[in-house]
Structure 1
Amino acid sequence: MSLDMEKARVAWNLIYNDMLVSDTEQGLVECYGQHAVRYDQYIKDIGYRMPAKTAKLLMKYGNLGPESEVLDVGAGTGILGTKLRELGYRGEIDGLDGSSGMLKIAESRKLYRNLVQQFLTADCALDVGDVMYDAIASVGVFSAVHVGASVTRCLFNHVKSGGVVIISYRVNETTIGDTEFIAELKDTINSICDKGKASVIAELSTDFFGVNFFADDPSKPCPGLCLCLRKT
């Protein structure tokens, strides 16, 4: 589906020049809260494709049934939950996000069992009690301006043996910070696998956004990567 490039440019600028300008946890959460009611329109205008791709991977590799439990880390307004339901998933979904404003939108969708507000920091424990999930997915959460690479390890503390963890992220390296972050994220994932805690069972290079205003030609999609790991 073709995008309106003028609308896409406006939405892109609102996201990258307004929502993501704070360098503090509180500031970032407040920015997301201020834009929560318009967020779904922003990402529609820039062709946010990663939630749908991630949902398909979950359905393909997660062995999900009506009794399954899935955790959406960085749930935002509940887009991943929506995509899972559209694909026929009928099990439980819990969501976790740092912004209460975004979670209010997710709650209104009535797709999630529990929604928890938590901003993820290094070596934190997810605030989900003793639930061990069949699958955990994180879409667009790990980045130089959001959640650090070390949090990847925390996800494996909350998924069952044999369960899957999917991490989907933007790979367009536009700054030194982006390059360093992606290298750190890859090193962290490799370390988890090298220690025998998980193995990569699928790797999908795909479009993250349908446009890319970081590039010389904004009409070309912004690249992304979905990694699906199975816990041993």
Structure 2
Amino acid sequence: MSLDLQKARVAWNFLYNDILGPDTEQGIVECYSQHAARYDLHIKDIGYNVPATAAKLLMKYGNLGPESEVLDVGAGTGIVGKELRELGYKGEIDGLDGSSGMLKIAESRKLYRNLVQQFLTSDCALDVGDVMYDAIVSIGVFSPIHVSASVAKSFFNHVKSGGVVIISYRVNETTTSDSEYIAELKGAIKSICDEGKASVIAEHLTDFYGVNFFAGDPSKPCAGMCLCLRKT
């Protein structure tokens, strides 16, 4: 899909300056709430592709049916839920996000069973009670300005044996902190697998965004990874 680079630059600045500008995680969460009403429009303008990719992978590997339960961690405005419904998923979806403003948009879509506001920290348990999900998906969450990489470990306490966990991350390492974070995330995943809790079933390289203003040529996509794991 061809994108309007002028609109894309405005949207990029909205995301990386207006929303992700604060230097604390709590500040970023507050900015997400403040700008929630504009989020979907701007994300569309930069070709935010990874939610659609993740939904397709979830339908491919998740063995999901009408009785299935999926948890969307970092649900935001409910884009992943929307993609899953458009692919024909009929089961339940719960969502969890730190931003109350984003969750209000997700609620308005009427696609989710439960929506929970929770700010994820490195040692937290997901606030979903004793529900064991058939799949957990977390898109656009794992970055150094959002959550600790170790949060991924908590997912496997809330997914059934044989269930699928899908997480995404940008593979463009634009700063030292990006490189260190990706290494930390890969280490956390390796630890999960080495402990026998899960195995990697797919590593799917995709376009994270349709543009890339981190690079010299913004018309080229910003690469991303969807990592798919199955709990043992």
| TM-score clears 0.5 | yes
Contact 2:25 2:145 in 1 (8 A): no
User: In structure 2, what is the Cα distance between the partners aligned to 1:67 and 1:180?
Assistant: 40
Contact 1:107 1:115 in 2 (8 A): yes
Alignment of 1:1-232 (within 5 A): 1-232=1-232
User: In structure 1, what is the Cα distance between the partners aligned to 2:101 and 2:88?
Assistant: 27
The DSSP-based 3-state class of the residue aligned with 2:179 is helix
User: In structure 2, what is the Cα distance between the partners aligned to 1:205 and 1:24?
Assistant: 29
The DSSP-based 3-state class of the residue aligned with 2:137 is strand
User: In structure 1, what is the Cα distance between the partners aligned to 2:28 and 2:179?
Assistant: 21
User: In structure 2, what is the Cα distance between the partners aligned to 1:188 and 1:26?
Assistant: 23
What's the CA shift string for 1:12-53, capped at 9, x where partnerless? 011101210112232111100111000000100000000000
Unaligned runs of 5+ in 2: none
Contact 1:77 1:103 in 2 (8 A): yes
- How far the C-alpha of 1:195 sits from its partner, in A, is 1.0
What's the CA shift string for 1:110-155, capped at 9, x where partnerless? 0000000001001210000000000000001010100110000000
Q: After alignment, is 18-27 or 124-133 more displaced?
A: 18-27
The one-letter amino acid paired with 1:195 is E
The DSSP-based 3-state class of the residue aligned with 2:110 is coil
The one-letter amino acid paired with 1:97 is D
User: In structure 1, what is the Cα distance between the partners aligned to 2:161 and 2:179?
Assistant: 32
Contact 1:69 1:133 in 2 (8 A): yes
Structure 1 runs of 4+ with >3 Å offset: none
What's the CA shift string for 1:62-101, capped at 9, x where partnerless? 0100000000000000000000000000000000000000
Matched residue count:
232
TM-score norm. by structure 1 comes to 0.99
The one-letter amino acid paired with 1:186 is K
* Percent of residue pairs bearing the same amino acid type: 81
The DSSP-based 3-state class of the residue aligned with 1:149 is coil
What's the CA shift string for 1:145-182, capped at 9, x where partnerless? 00110000000000001100001111110000000000
- How far the C-alpha of 1:58 sits from its partner, in A, is 0.4
Contact 1:77 1:104 in 2 (8 A): yes
Unaligned runs of 5+ in 1: none
TM-score norm. by structure 2 comes to 0.99
User: In structure 1, what is the Cα distance between the partners aligned to 2:205 and 2:26?
Assistant: 32
Contact 1:139 1:169 in 2 (8 A): yes
